[in-house]
């Protein structure tokens, strides 16, 4: 009840401020400033202003024909007065005091006073009014209005609280649609957090004598946990450039349930983290780009049934980026994080989905403008646009030419910073058709990120282009065992088609 009374008092003060004028007004009989506007200096105090904690911070009030000073307070348990607010006040005829700030008899149960002399509100005089003394009829509407406001506010808060709890407490078992527990829990010891993503936290952990990675999903992201393990359990998914899957577990119960996905552990972390701390040579770029393209091509390919193994459908990753590419100890890459992936089984609907998913800076133009054709090829081309962004990240950190390698940047970081909005990316990529800044010796364009989705290279084409660069390295005299200097001409298959020994291929990088 005390809190409601305090809220009523505060509300009434605010109502008086609204009805009677601005707190920056002046005082009756006060002096005038140079512009002929009456002014007065009052003691000022507000809980939200740490510079005036002692209540003696003078502030001039001007701009009104009748400026006053005011104060509100509460009575402490020891009988002491505790100032709540002080400042400037503007009213018509309600303030009759001059030198003393005496509790107003017109407002019952509210400690309020006003006065008309400079700094007269530093000290206040508390007057007790017996309950039989009724306030003047002019204040009854204000008190009634304040009571209505308090009642409405209380009912609104109660309603919001009930809605919140109804939303938080599920009406059915939240684990009802989850796959059954795979069996006894593995003896896993969590060591440290290695990454935090949209759908979970990745831990470095130990299983027996082996290091593993444990991705922990909260219960509300159970759909991503289910989707990811469904992709890993597809036939033929044991591929060297796909993160090795170990199993899943459910830890805890009820609303504290955690969903674990256990995979192989990679000490070097993601490609994004690796490029932040390291530059790469041309041979390292070839290994990383080639293994990444090989994994993406495998993911996109349909594999027919072989022996007792069923067919593997084409899979679109839908969140391909450097943070979802992991680095092996030999610097080859493998692809991870299939929480948004979509499989396309022949003759079957891929299920309910929407196109605006993924990470903004890696979204293809058709995703940003909401113009996706909901078929397999369209989603695979979206992956290839993102692949072009990752290739740009690799090239930007490669020491293959004499040009200096700058600090690591994400795609479009130079143009829109580290936290672009969806509107930022739409304007940049869709409307202005901008692509990440490229150095002159790259010849300024990669066909993986072509605005026309049908013109983009496939993962198989990217892999062939990378292999072509590797063949050139082996046959070129530009690099010898005793001379590790690298010439930009070795990047030609990735930049422009000048190789005479192979059938013509579309350049991976060409002039815009």
Distance CA 315, CA 336 (A): 13
* Tokens representing residue 498 in the block: 């000048």
DSSP 8-state assignment for residue 426: I
In angstroms, the Cα distances linking 410 to 152, 407, 456 are 50, 10, 21
Residue 135, token pair as written in the block: 């306030």
C-alpha distances out from residue 443 to 98, 105, 494, 495, Å: 81, 83, 10, 7
Rounded CA-CA distance 334/331 in Å is 10
Query: What is each CA distance from 77 to 7, 262, 418, 452, in whole angstroms?
Result: 18, 60, 53, 75
Beta bridge partners, 117, equal none
What's CA 341's distance to the chain center, in Å?
21
Q: Contact 281/486 with Cβ under 8 angstroms?
A: yes
- The whole-angstrom separation of Cα 420 and Cα 412 is 9
Q: Beta partners for 101?
A: 124
User: CA 207, CA 188: separation in Å to the nearest integer?
Assistant: 5
Check 319, 337, 383, 450 and give the catalytic one: 319
* 124: Cα within 13 Å, side-chain hemisphere: 28
Phi and psi of 412, rounded to 5°?
A: 70, 10
Q: Is 253 a catalytic residue?
A: no
Q: How far is 472 from 476, CA to CA, in rounded Å?
A: 6
Tell me which residues are annotated as active site: 319
């Amino acid at each position: 009840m005390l809190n409601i009374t305090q809220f009523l008092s505060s509300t009434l003060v605010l109502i008086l401020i609204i009805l009677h004028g601005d707190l920056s007004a002046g005082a009756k009989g006060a002096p005038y400033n140079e512009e002929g506007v009456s002014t007065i200096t009052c003691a000022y105090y507000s809980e939200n202003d740490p510079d005036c904690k002692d209540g003696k911070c003078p502030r001039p009030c001007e701009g009104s024909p009748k400026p006053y000073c005011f104060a509100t307070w509460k009575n402490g348990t020891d009988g002491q007065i505790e100032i709540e607010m002080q400042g400037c006040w503007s009213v018509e005829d309600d303030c009759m005091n001059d030198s003393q700030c005496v509790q107003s008899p017109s407002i019952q149960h509210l400690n309020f006073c006003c006065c008309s002399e400079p700094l007269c509100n530093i000290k206040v005089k508390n007057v007790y009014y017996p309950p039989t003394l009724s306030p003047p009829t002019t204040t009854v509407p204000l008190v009634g209005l304040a009571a209505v406001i308090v009642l409405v506010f209380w009912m609104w808060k109660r309603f919001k609280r009930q809605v919140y709890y109804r939303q938080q407490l599920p009406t059915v078992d939240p684990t009802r649609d989850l796959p059954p527990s795979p069996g006894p829990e593995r003896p896993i010891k969590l060591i440290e957090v290695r990454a935090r993503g949209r759908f979970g936290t990745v831990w470095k952990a130990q299983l027996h004598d082996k290091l593993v990675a444990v991705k922990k999903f909260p219960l509300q992201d159970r759909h991503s946990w289910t989707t990811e393990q469904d992709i890993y359990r597809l036939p033929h998914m044991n591929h060297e450039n796909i993160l090795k899957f170990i199993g899943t577990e459910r830890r805890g119960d009820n609303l504290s349930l955690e969903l674990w996905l256990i995979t192989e552990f990679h000490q070097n972390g993601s490609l994004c983290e690796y490029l932040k701390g390291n530059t790469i040579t041309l041979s390292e770029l070839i290994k990383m780009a080639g293994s990444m393209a090989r994994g993406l091509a495998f993911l996109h390919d349909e594999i027919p049934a072989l022996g007792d193994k069923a067919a593997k459908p084409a899979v679109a990753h839908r969140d391909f980026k450097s943070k979802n590419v992991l680095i092996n100890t030999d610097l080859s890459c493998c692809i991870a994080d299939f929480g948004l992936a979509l499989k396309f089984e022949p003759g079957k609907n891929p299920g309910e989905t929407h196109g605006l998913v993924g990470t903004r800076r890696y979204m293809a133009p058709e995703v940003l403008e909401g113009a996706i054709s909901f078929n397999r090829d369209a989603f695979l081309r979206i992956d290839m646009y993102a692949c072009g962004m990752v290739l740009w990240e690799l090239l930007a950190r490669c020491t293959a030419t004499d040009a200096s390698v700058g600090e690591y940047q994400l795609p479009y970081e130079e143009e829109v910073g580290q936290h672009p909005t969806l509107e930022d990316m739409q304007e940049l990529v869709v409307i202005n058709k901008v692509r990440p800044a490229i150095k002159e010796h790259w010849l300024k364009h990669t066909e993986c990120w072509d605005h026309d989705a049908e013109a983009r290279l496939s993962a198989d084409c990217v892999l062939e282009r990378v292999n072509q660069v590797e063949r050139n390295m082996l046959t070129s005299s530009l690099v010898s065992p005793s001379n590790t200097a690298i010439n930009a001409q070795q990047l030609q298959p990735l930049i422009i088609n000048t190789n005479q020994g192979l059938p013509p291929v579309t350049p991976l990088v060409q002039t815009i």
